[in-house]
Amino acid sequence: MIVRFWGVRGSIPCPGPKTVRYGGNTSCIELAMPEVSRRIIIDAGSGIRELGAYILNEGTITKQEKIKIFLTHTHWDHIMGFPFFAPMYMPDAHIQIFGPRASEKDSLEEIVGGQWTYNYFPVLQKDLAATVEYIELKEGEYDLGMGLRLKTKLLFHPISCLGYRFEYKDKCFCTLFDTEPFKDRDEIIEFVKGADLIVHDAQYTEEEYRSAKEGWGHSYIEYALDIGIKAGAKRLAFFHHDPDRTDEELDNLGNNYNSKEIESFFAKEKQEVVL
């Protein structure tokens, strides 16, 4: 499996001279399994725009090759890139959008598809050229076919938000964002046990979190590190960087928080990790 980061920021895109190296796009990760020509996308933040262009360039769009997008949740920074995801406008594309239902009242389709209304965008959902399917997920286990398995876990966030554990052959890739620290850490450690890579919410330092950010739905770096080490993970990527963090600050945090017990790094846009 190859993991590619297309957007690593939380909350809002933050392009500019201070974020050139880590990137300014919001959440979007590609999980590629080239040997079986499969691709999974996690989240549709602003980073998905460039991934869409990359997929078009590859020329791999067919009705048979369904594009599977797993949304962690429907907060805007995780879905804002959808209207600019070029395959949505390709008649040959079949796109499956998986994700949790945010509330009893609103379906996944209503919330995500609601971006294609004239109040927000000049194209309507019914006019999209691609075949688009919405599939709601709950906490549980799913067989995605061709040897790919998925486990989901409800995280600690103001709306329903899922952590993902993808298993393929002997490799395991996990995402834990957006989430605040779990009071019972063992519960979440069990979920990501033995992962080859965990991508973890690390928007704040512990000091920032404790001074003003409790209840905002995000974790701190020290907590993410503790979960990664106790889960026995091979690698840990700090993710969902605060939009105010500059490249220099992220470099410094990377130097301050490296541990001998686990290989950790602050995720960068366009970075590729082979599992």
Which residues sit at the interface with Zn ion, rule CB under 5 A? 10, 75, 77, 178
Residue 239 β-bridge partners: 201
Cβ closer to Zn ion: 178 or 180?
178
* CA gap 76, 90 in Å, rounded: 24
Cβ closer to Zn ion: 75 or 200?
75
Residue nearest to Zn ion (CB): 75
Q: How far is the CB of 157 from Zn ion (least distance, A)?
A: 6
Cβ closer to Zn ion: 38 or 240?
240
Give the number of other CB atoms < 10 A from CB of residue 43.
26
Cβ closer to Zn ion: 51 or 161?
161
Q: How far is the CB of 178 from Zn ion (least distance, A)?
A: 4
Q: How far is the CB of 75 from Zn ion (least distance, A)?
A: 3
* Tokens standing for residue 230: 């106790």
Q: How far is the CB of 217 from Zn ion (least distance, A)?
A: 5
Q: How far is the CB of 127 from Zn ion (least distance, A)?
A: 28
Cβ closer to Zn ion: 12 or 124?
12
142: exposed, middle or buried (C-beta count within 10 Å: 0-12, 13-18, 19+)?
middle
